[in-house]
Structure 1
Amino acid sequence: MAEYNNRPNPDDRSDNVEKLQSKVFHTIQNMERAEESLAYTDSEEQKQAIEAKNERRRESIDAFRSELKDEAAYQRNNQDNQYK
């Protein structure tokens, strides 16, 4: 039987800022596309669903931006500590 090494992967936060920026960008794109689709939607039910989803997207964007600030601060602090 093979012996397994149960060590967790190291915490690599080096690209979190870029990943979060990408998520914000793509979420905004999805919101804009959904808004455009409203013009072609006849069903009131579908319109409400799109509007509700976009509201959840706005909340996600706020959360992404908050996390983005935290990650940027972490990276700044980490860089400052490297040069001490």
Structure 2
Amino acid sequence: MNKYNNHPKPDNRKDNVEKLQNMVQDTIENIEASHETMQFSSEKEKQNVKEKNKRREDAIQGMREEIKDEYRHQQQE
């Protein structure tokens, strides 16, 4: 028998909405910062940044959907 009591931590979703909102804000700030630096970039670098920003925008959309789901879950508790 294991002398340590290794149990998974219980699922605590109370601050998920806040964490997700912070992640969205950070991602938006990253997009804005990339726009500022693109003026000093080569065409290839600009294309890479545009592609990365598209992925960021897709991620933001997914995080916003997750925020809605988490908020609904909290309202049911």
Q: TM-score range by the shorter chain?
A: over 0.9
| CA positional deviation for 1:73 | 0.3
Counterpart amino acid of residue 4 in structure 1: Y
Structure 2 counterpart of 1:13: 13
**Aligned residue number for residue 44 of structure 1:** 43
Mapped to 2, the partners of 1:16 and 1:45 lie a distance apart of 37
Q: Distance in 2 between matches of 1:45 and 1:70?
A: 38
Task: Report the alpha carbon displacement of residue 8 of structure 1 after superposing the two structures with TM.
Answer: 1.1
After the TM superposition, which parts of structure 1 deviate over 6 Å for at least 4 consecutive aligned residues? none
| Percent identity between the two aligned chains | 46
Counterpart for residue 72 of structure 1: 71
* Matched letter for residue 10 of structure 1: P
Q: How many residues align?
A: 77
Question: How much is the aligned-residue C-alpha RMSD, in angstroms?
Answer: 1.4
Alpha-carbon deviation of 1:15? 0.3
Q: Which has the higher contact order (CA 8 A, sep 6+)?
A: 2
Q: Give unmatched runs, 5+ long, in structure 2.
A: none
| TM-score of the aligned structures, taking structure 2 as reference length | 0.93
CA distance in 1, matches of 2:76, 2:18: 17
User: Who wins on radius of gyration, i.e. which is larger?
Assistant: 1
Structure 1: 5+ residue runs without aligned partners?
A: 79-84
